[in-house]
Amino acid sequence: MQCPLLYRFRVIDKLPEKPSEAATRGTLVHAVLERLFDAPAADRTAPRARALIPGQWDRLLESKPELSGLFAGDVEGERLTRWLGEAERLVDRWFSLEDPTRLEPAERELFVETELESGLRLRGVIDRVDVAPSGEVRIVDYKTGKAPRPEYSEGPLFQMTFYALVIWRLKGVVPRRLQLVYLGSGDVLTYDPVVADLERVERKLLALWDAISLATETGDWRPRPTKLCGWCDHQAVCPEFGGTPPVYPLSVRPAASGEDGQGRMGPVQAEAGRAVALEGP
């Protein structure tokens, strides 16, 4: 939805992207908040959470050695120390938003997957699932950035209703609440979905996959310029910046009359094995 051409670069061309300090810090903070719940409730304190940071950073480096390049040339370790300090502040802020001593998550970093009647498979990873004694489900997602202005809230809300849709199709239960915890700004945003919301997201996903399928067949992946373009690693091969995309690696067919290259007018076709995946940083 952000940019069809970026989707192509990532999913089809598999162009490498440099790790960023912000995204890696988000991964680190998520790992710390997940591991904190391994401790008994009374021990889930801010000092204990901060103490988890060095060990979780070591685990990240072990699993992804390329992350060490983030601080190349940082001989004195000043940048790394400052970066870890920023992670500590994000973790500390969480304790002002939620009380982990009063929480017993049913699931953490939960991988979910379901297949719609059309054959479209949905999968994702949910940060936290809370289940009340009454059986009501709350889906929680941590964001290490700041809460967006209302006009830019559609993306995060779509992500959460995507998760709710998967849970609904898997278990037949509509989550009672969707909760976004923004550690960068100290905001907690909630939304209580209804069946109509999830059905609307399902229709949107089917249309989105139809557009992806058509673009894959025709090779017509168009850039969608936004303010986020300045952060893109692929400016050198993007037409919006005077670049030329790599040779398309798949066979193509001409777009039929009435198709716009993004599939907005094409019918949804059930096709085994197709999938849309979503993971929240």
Does residue 268 register a pLDDT over 50?
no
> Is pLDDT of 269 > 50?
no
Interatomic CA distance for residues 153 and 171, integer angstroms? 27
Mean pLDDT in the chain?
A: 90
> Which residue among 85, 101, 117 closes a domain?
101
The whole-number pLDDT of residue 258 equals 54
Whether residue 257 is predicted with pLDDT greater than 90 in this model: the reply is no
Q: What are the phi and psi torsion angles at 238 (to 5°)?
A: -105, 130
Spatial distance between the Cα atoms of 232 and 236, rounded to a whole number of angstroms: 10
Per-residue pLDDT tens digits for 123-162: 999 999 999 999 999 999 999 999 998 877 788 899 999 9
CA–CA gap between residue 245 and residue 157 (Å, rounded) = 31
* Residue 59 included in any domain: yes
pLDDT given at position 153: 77
Specify the pLDDT at position 265.
Answer: 31
> Given a cut of 60, is residue 278 above it in pLDDT?
no
pLDDT at 114 over 70: yes
Task: Tell me which of 42, 76, 101 is where a domain ends.
Answer: 101
Mean pLDDT of 230-234: 93
Model confidence at 7: pLDDT above 70: yes
Q: Are residues 34 and 94 in the same domain?
A: yes
- Residues 202-219 have pLDDT tens digits of 999 999 999 999 999 999
Helices 21-36 & 46-63, crossing angle to 10 degrees? Answer: 120
Position 281 scores a pLDDT of 40
Task: Write down the pLDDT at residue 263.
Answer: 39
- Same domain, yes or no, for 142 and 40? no
pTM: 0.86
Q: pLDDT tens-digit profile of 31-76?
A: 999 999 999 999 999 999 999 999 999 999 999 999 989 998 888 8
End-of-domain residue from the set 53, 70, 101: 101
* Continuous segment of H or E residues that includes residue 75: none
Inter-axis angle of helices 21-36 and 78-97, nearest 10: 50
Identify the residue with better confidence: 281 or 27: 27
Which amino acid appears at position 70 of this protein?
A: L
Whether 192 and 72 map to the same domain: the answer is no
Amino acid identity at 12? I
Domains held by the chain: number? 2
- Asked whether residue 268 is domain-assigned, the answer is yes
Residue 163 has pLDDT above 50, yes or no: yes
pLDDT > 90? residue 110: yes
Does residue 201 belong to any structural domain of this protein?
A: yes
**pLDDT band at residue 228 using 50, 70 and 90 as cut-offs:** confident
Domain that holds residue 86: 4-101
High-pLDDT (> 90) share of the chain, %: 81
Residue 70 belongs to a domain: yes
